[in-house]
Structure 1
Amino acid sequence: MVMASVSGCKKEETPPQAGAIRALVSYATFRPACLTLSITDVADPTRTESTDVRVDPNARSDIRTVAIIGREGWSRNLRLVASAHERSCNGPLVALQEVTAQVPEVGTTDVMLALRADDLDDDGYVSAEGQYPGSDCDDTNPDIHPGATELCDGVDNNCVNGEADAPGGATYYRDVDGDGFGDPFALPSLSCIPPEGYVLESGDCNDRDPNVFPQPLELRCDNRDDNCDGQVDNAPFDVGTACMTAQNCGGTRQCTPDQLAAVCSSAEQPVEWFIDEDGDGRAGTSVGLWCANPPGENAVTERTDCDESSRYVFNGATEVCDRMDNDCDGQVDEHIASCDPAAWTSNSDSPNDTQWRAVAPYSGNRGWLAGDASRLAHVDGNTVTLVTGCPGIWRSAWTTNDGRVFLGSSAGTFTTRRATDTAPCVDVAGPGAAQINGIVGFENGNTVTLYAVDSEGRIIRWTHVEGAPTQAAPVLLQQVVSNLRAIDGTTPGTLFAAGTEVVGGSSRPVVWRGPADGGSTWTHENLGTLPSGGFLRSIRALSATRVVAAGDTGLLMELNGTTWTVKPRLTLESMATADIRAMVAFGSKAIYAVSSGSNAIHFFNGETWSSSAPPSHTTHTLGATGPTDIWAAGSTGVLLRWQP
């Protein structure tokens, strides 16, 4: 076959000498960019040809003529197909017409093929509707077609992906649960404005739960990934990570039943641990249940001390004659031959007019006595030697292990001497002029650090260096609003001072605690509500956390840990109360005291008071080197000693 495009309109022509088909291809309401006519031999479909039909680019409707002349070898029955494409031959097929015709033996046969497509707005793009849709999504507006520039104006100008490709457009994600984060796996919406139910942020790993969305931390401890970071119950719960319980047990973090927190859970079983508070090398104070040694403690799991208030009592200790249950077997002084707890010896070598106010024994059955009217004496065994050249009214004394005594006077001055000194005492002025009522010291090599208190609330430190050509003066650490009568401690970091303070016009007992860090600020202790007022006149530190204090109306108090409690008061045989003048203690169950209402030396065993010496002399002061070496001194120069 031979095809030839003859004209753009139908007109009369001279028929060819052989038979032919004149194909009249019409189109209307669009401008085909590519118009094609193809013929196929019906008898043999492998025989096919096609030709491009030239069109007038200015015509939206036209008829084009194509002559089809028979060819040798082809049958006379042909299939004719006319097709039109939008914009180019590679563009969408927008119109197609197919007919079957027979080539006449002679003459010409006309065949009509009508193509119809809508480009109503004449923008060169055919409507996207119909049997053969084009690419124009709005054929009523020439500004809307695939070649248009997309704008953020609420219209899909270029018929592609809505407004997603417009400058200023964005991708929005479906947010079903309304938590502000969209489902990243759902089909997003590309738009200039957020569609209803869509948000800009994606990443919601559970768009059915408003409590699950991307956030810095897990919201609940619920075995789910609440913050969409790919991990379950991580920070702040950190479930499954290794941890230590408050009892030092190794475990892992687990959710609490309310799903609001995680706790360290351990399969280990804690046991009770004990520490040594009184310094006897045995542990008896419980520090609670732990799986390992409590932090900061040197603790053990075996309790080997029945009384942590006394370094003279522990399991397995040797029982001695001292009114104490040394070996923790529940008995006192058992099986000790010739143990006579009432065997006090009297020494009255000093003048009868002497009033001893302070006693300071040291090793070797030696000690010092100090009192009124410049009286000072050194005791060596049964020999009492008066010392001259030390004028003063002495109210307090403390001695080193080798016998150097330090004295405090009623005028706020200090002095010190050894038994071998022959020169007069040197008066050392303190920071005030009030009576020095109590002294305690601590030795460190050749340096002694003393702490003293006076009647005007001064807390004083005096450092003495043995052999130094000059000595530093006593310094004021702090002055409190109290009349202080006594001071004691096991170390410079565990000092306590006792006396009285005036509150609302009435005096009441007071205790001040020294700083543990070596500073100068003392703190007021809470003694609770006391039934009566007056002074605390003596205080003894048994350990860092155990302290006893005694004073007026027989008041005896004990600090155990952080709490002060009132113990049974000292009462006389007449059931009257008496003021405790002085006290020594070797544990909460071994306390000696002298009182204003009796010449007896009283003993407290932890439960009751009793008399430990016959009431033959008035005593003012007590001192001791241990529970088997106790000294009491007082009026008429008396010195009593219990050395069983």
Structure 2
Amino acid sequence: MAGWRWCIRISPRSVEAASSLEDSRGQPRTHTRGEGPVGWASMKRLFLLLPLVALAGCKDPQDGVKVVISYGQFVPGCVRVTATDDASGDTRTTDVAVRGKKPEPNSQIVVGLLLPEKWGTAITVEANGYEALPKDDACVGNAVTNQRKGLSVPKGSTKDGKPAELTLLADARDEDGDGYVSNTAGGSDCDDKAGVGAGINPGATELCNGQDDNCDGNKDEDFAIGSECISPEGCPSVRTCNTSDPTTFACIATNVQYAWVDADRDQHGDKNQGQVVVCSATLPPDRLPLTSPHDDCNDSEASIHPQATEKCNTVDDDCDGDTDEGFGVGATCFETGVQCDGIQQCNATQDGVVCKPTGTVPTWYPDQDEDQHGKMDAGIVRCPKPDAGYITEGRDCDDGNPFIHGDARELCDGQDNNCNGTVDDGLNCAPTWAGQQVGEEADRTWYGLSVYGDGGVWIVGSDGGRAVKQPSETAFSVRPGACTGTSNTRTLFGVWSNSEGKAFIGGSEGLLLIQEPGSTDCTPRRPPNLDAGSGTIATTDLFGFANPSDPDDVQLYGVASDDDKGATFQWNGAVVGVPIIAASNSTFQGIHGISPEVMFAVGSFKNPEAGGARGQIFRYDPVTSSWGTPVEPPNTKGLNAVWVVNSKLAYAVGNAGAFLKWDGSVWATSPGPAAERLTGVIAFGSNSVYVTSEAGKVYRYENGNWQTYDLGASLYGINGTNPGDLWVIGVRGLAFHYPSWPAAPPPP
């Protein structure tokens, strides 16, 4: 079956059309010249809109109609041609772009239509003209012209090459020739007057000219005429249309004049500034007319201008280019009060000179807690630095706590961290020691504690107990698996973890163990056990240092003890044998440091003949890789824990209330919190010390006093990152956190 086709041609004064009939073999068929102005078969430009119409089958030859749509002065933007089979009501439609292809008036469109075989002989053809150009190949808007005619197309009428012909008119009044019909004649053109309305129609661009160019009922709507604006001179005005360019608006100010700036009002204009705009008819007090002097070298001081008297004040008062001429300013000198070299400078009365230090004389503040903020009320003003413990930044209201100074972040610790006079400023908190049982074994005792990262915690204890709180979590996870020994489950006493949470653990029977937060058993272990020569000893504590660029590259230092002897060792964290160095009659309980150069181990020397045990403190020597000769502070019965704050401050605690302080050179006894067995210590500075006891107390030293917190259970370890993030562990599987049980990882 051959299909339905529209064949379209637009011509200025004549019509050319062609058929697209195909024979049954799909080959083109050429028809002979018709009777129109130009023959049917001579069309040179053919527009086929096949996708816009349905194809209908018919036997060859097809019957056809030549439809001519004429228009005059009004050139349609688009013409819609509709053919209808009168018998069946079947309809075919095509939209033809006109003005976009041939904008000249007085032209024609020729549409050749081939009738489907199923159509009858009576058809109706309708032509509608539209103002607007088509969108997406379709006419849009309302039709402004319409003509409809019927005709009869007998079957086989095209066989002789003379198709039926029909002429329709698509014309309307368009006096200004802009392609839009007057709104008085059914169109949308609001000004159709010849000569003056050509640029006014719905398709026009709105200009700033006081008229409605695009026929939307508004004038100059895109230019905000009458709104506030700033003129090119910087003066306030309102928008008007630009008479020289109607595509833009203008902003013209009145009462504009120019003047000299006279900011100090000494009647001399600022010579460093040129003319400035004044947006008023009257000059303000800080402006001068252009006839006034324009020679002021400093327009911020009324006493400085060419007619002023020169003073000794480091200022060119008379604007002659010289400063303090005649006073001898600039000679070198020495100021004994602040011990500074200086130069002669003008005195306070501006009539002579005095010796003043060159530059600013620094104020030095003591910084005992090494938080880079010195004690605010102890500054020394002088050029040379008093000693190594002084810095130039003050604003520290507590030089014994590095978490308190003028730039500190406020912590929930019951203290004024940022020195603004308010405790726990803006935190809305009530700090307390909050405890929970970790794990299901209520008879377990936790002995070792280590913190890592941003909120990570490891604890270890009896019956091989190991638990970890990862930084992203709020609860502890007890790691499975028993750490069995030769006879029963081993007790774990010491733990140290790197920044990634890998834990290195020591315990009874010489156990050394490596654990990850996700470990599922008590491995890997270091074989064989630590041995002091006769039987095994317990690793009582571990401390280590990690390579900042590789957390797994660690160097661990450990201490160990049994009833009457002890040992020390070094371990690189690998699962290999670890040699020990035995210490006769010396037992070890704790170890801590800030570096191998500043690291201490504490314990006891057991000598029944000399009255029992006494405390010992060892300092590590990295040059010889040994712990050297111990210090034995008097009247101590044994030491259990040590904490190094910095290179000049450390603390140790022990039995019978022993409390010792190191000042960078000497260990000495200090007033302690209570005469009981003290088991753990952590300090952030000389005014921020925390101690635990076997009697279940946490003692906090602040402002010369010990505060007591009774947690009701024996405590054996304390650690943390700051006074607002502290952990304590002890019996009955209990762990405590200050200032509350963390609902989220603590801040750094």
TM-score normalised by structure 1 residue count? 0.50
Match of residue 500 from structure 2: 402
| Contact persistence 2:415–2:424 (CA under 8 A) | no
| Compared CA separation, residues 526 and 354, structure 1 to 2 (3 A) | closer
Q: Give me the whole-angstrom Cα distance separating, in 2, the residues matched to 1:476 and 1:272.
A: 51
Q: Give me the whole-angstrom Cα distance separating, in 2, the residues matched to 1:408 and 1:554.
A: 27
Q: Give me the whole-angstrom Cα distance separating, in 2, the residues matched to 1:379 and 1:566.
A: 36
| Contact persistence 1:344–1:613 (CA under 8 A) | no
Shift in Å, 1:305: 4.4
| Compared CA separation, residues 330 and 436, structure 1 to 2 (3 A) | farther
Match of residue 636 from structure 2: 533
Q: Give me the whole-angstrom Cα distance separating, in 2, the residues matched to 1:313 and 1:565.
A: 26
Corresponding letter in the other structure for 1:459: T
Match of residue 263 from structure 1: none
Match of residue 282 from structure 1: 373
Shift in Å, 1:545: 1.1
Match of residue 679 from structure 2: 581
Whether 2:740 is the aligned partner of 1:634: answer no
Whether 2:562 is the aligned partner of 1:458: answer no
Match of residue 598 from structure 2: 494
Whether 2:537 is the aligned partner of 1:434: answer yes
1:214-613 aligned within 5 A: 278-283=369-374, 292=384, 300-303=391-394, 305=396, 309-328=400-419, 333=423, 335-380=425-470, 381-391=474-484, 392-422=490-520, 424-428=522-526, 429-430=529-530, 432=532, 433-444=536-547, 445-446=549-550, 447-455=553-561, 456-464=565-573, 473-476=577-580, 479=583, 482-502=586-606, 504-515=610-621, 517-524=622-629, 526=631, 530=634, 532-571=635-674, 577-596=675-694, 598-605=695-702, 607-613=704-710
Shift in Å, 1:489: 0.7
1:72-83 aligned within 5 A: none
Shift in Å, 1:527: 5.9
Q: Give me the whole-angstrom Cα distance separating, in 1, the residues matched to 2:505 and 2:381.
A: 47
Name the stretch that deviates more: 409-418 or 534-543: 409-418
| Compared CA separation, residues 477 and 275, structure 1 to 2 (3 A) | farther
| Compared CA separation, residues 288 and 585, structure 1 to 2 (3 A) | same
Name the stretch that deviates more: 583-592 or 485-494: 583-592
Q: Give me the whole-angstrom Cα distance separating, in 2, the residues matched to 1:399 and 1:430.
A: 20
Name the stretch that deviates more: 394-403 or 346-355: 346-355
Corresponding letter in the other structure for 1:342: T
Corresponding letter in the other structure for 2:587: N
Shift in Å, 1:506: 3.0
| Compared CA separation, residues 325 and 502, structure 1 to 2 (3 A) | farther
Corresponding letter in the other structure for 2:428: S
Instruction: Write out per-residue CA displacement over residues 488-524 of structure 1, whole angstroms, 9 at most, x where no aligned residue.
Output: 1111211011112246343222211222x54324344
Does the residue aligned with 1:382 lie in a helix, a strand or coil? Answer: coil
| Contact persistence 1:550–1:557 (CA under 8 A) | yes
| Contact persistence 2:372–2:391 (CA under 8 A) | no
Name the stretch that deviates more: 379-388 or 401-410: 379-388
| Compared CA separation, residues 423 and 373, structure 1 to 2 (3 A) | closer
Shift in Å, 1:354: 1.4
Does the residue aligned with 2:569 lie in a helix, a strand or coil? Answer: strand
Corresponding letter in the other structure for 2:409: T
Corresponding letter in the other structure for 1:413: L
| Compared CA separation, residues 277 and 403, structure 1 to 2 (3 A) | farther
| Contact persistence 2:479–2:520 (CA under 8 A) | no
Instruction: Write out per-residue CA displacement over residues 128-171 of structure 1, whole angstroms, 9 at most, x where no aligned residue.
Output: xxxxxxxxxxxxxxxxxxxxxxxxxxxxxxxxxxxxxxxxxxxx
Q: Give me the whole-angstrom Cα distance separating, in 1, the residues matched to 2:582 and 2:625.
A: 6
Q: Give me the whole-angstrom Cα distance separating, in 2, the residues matched to 1:353 and 1:449.
A: 34
| Contact persistence 1:478–1:521 (CA under 8 A) | no
Does the residue aligned with 1:486 lie in a helix, a strand or coil? Answer: strand
Q: Give me the whole-angstrom Cα distance separating, in 2, the residues matched to 1:480 and 1:323.
A: 46
Instruction: Write out per-residue CA displacement over residues 287-327 of structure 1, whole angstroms, 9 at most, x where no aligned residue.
Output: 999854589x5963454545555432334323322244534
Corresponding letter in the other structure for 2:701: F
| Contact persistence 1:409–1:435 (CA under 8 A) | yes
Identity of aligned residues (%): 21
Corresponding letter in the other structure for 2:480: V
Q: Give me the whole-angstrom Cα distance separating, in 1, the residues matched to 2:509 and 2:413.
A: 38
Match of residue 31 from structure 1: none
Instruction: Write out per-residue CA displacement over residues 349-377 of structure 1, whole angstroms, 9 at most, x where no aligned residue.
Output: 43112121112233454322211122222
Q: Give me the whole-angstrom Cα distance separating, in 2, the residues matched to 1:527 and 1:389.
A: 39
| Compared CA separation, residues 599 and 298, structure 1 to 2 (3 A) | closer
Name the stretch that deviates more: 361-370 or 447-456: 361-370
Does the residue aligned with 2:721 lie in a helix, a strand or coil? Answer: strand
Q: Give me the whole-angstrom Cα distance separating, in 2, the residues matched to 1:279 and 1:271.
A: 19
1:93-242 aligned within 5 A: none
| Compared CA separation, residues 373 and 608, structure 1 to 2 (3 A) | same
Instruction: Write out per-residue CA displacement over residues 373-411 of structure 1, whole angstroms, 9 at most, x where no aligned residue.
Output: 222222342243232153332111111122111111122
Does the residue aligned with 1:553 lie in a helix, a strand or coil? Answer: helix
Match of residue 625 from structure 1: 721
Corresponding letter in the other structure for 2:372: G
| Contact persistence 2:524–2:575 (CA under 8 A) | no
Q: Give me the whole-angstrom Cα distance separating, in 2, the residues matched to 1:291 and 1:604.
A: 36
Q: Give me the whole-angstrom Cα distance separating, in 1, the residues matched to 2:366 and 2:579.
A: 36
Corresponding letter in the other structure for 1:607: G
| Contact persistence 2:370–2:402 (CA under 8 A) | yes
| Contact persistence 2:537–2:560 (CA under 8 A) | yes
| Contact persistence 2:372–2:393 (CA under 8 A) | no
For structure 1, list consecutive stretches of 5 or more residues without a partner in the other structure. 1-246, 251-266, 465-469, 572-576
| Contact persistence 2:718–2:727 (CA under 8 A) | yes
Match of residue 90 from structure 1: none
Name the stretch that deviates more: 534-543 or 561-570: 561-570
| Contact persistence 1:499–1:511 (CA under 8 A) | yes
| Contact persistence 2:556–2:571 (CA under 8 A) | yes
Corresponding letter in the other structure for 1:541: V
| Compared CA separation, residues 521 and 310, structure 1 to 2 (3 A) | farther
Does the residue aligned with 1:281 lie in a helix, a strand or coil? Answer: coil
| Compared CA separation, residues 486 and 383, structure 1 to 2 (3 A) | closer
For structure 2, list consecutive stretches of 5 or more residues without a partner in the other structure. 1-337, 342-356, 485-489, 741-748
Match of residue 18 from structure 2: none
Q: Give me the whole-angstrom Cα distance separating, in 1, the residues matched to 2:612 and 2:340.
A: 52
Instruction: Write out per-residue CA displacement over residues 460-508 of structure 1, whole angstroms, 9 at most, x where no aligned residue.
Output: 21113xxxxx655434467475222111111121101111224634322
Does the residue aligned with 1:411 lie in a helix, a strand or coil? Answer: helix
Q: Give me the whole-angstrom Cα distance separating, in 2, the residues matched to 1:637 and 1:624.
A: 19
Count of aligned residue pairs for this structure pair: 367
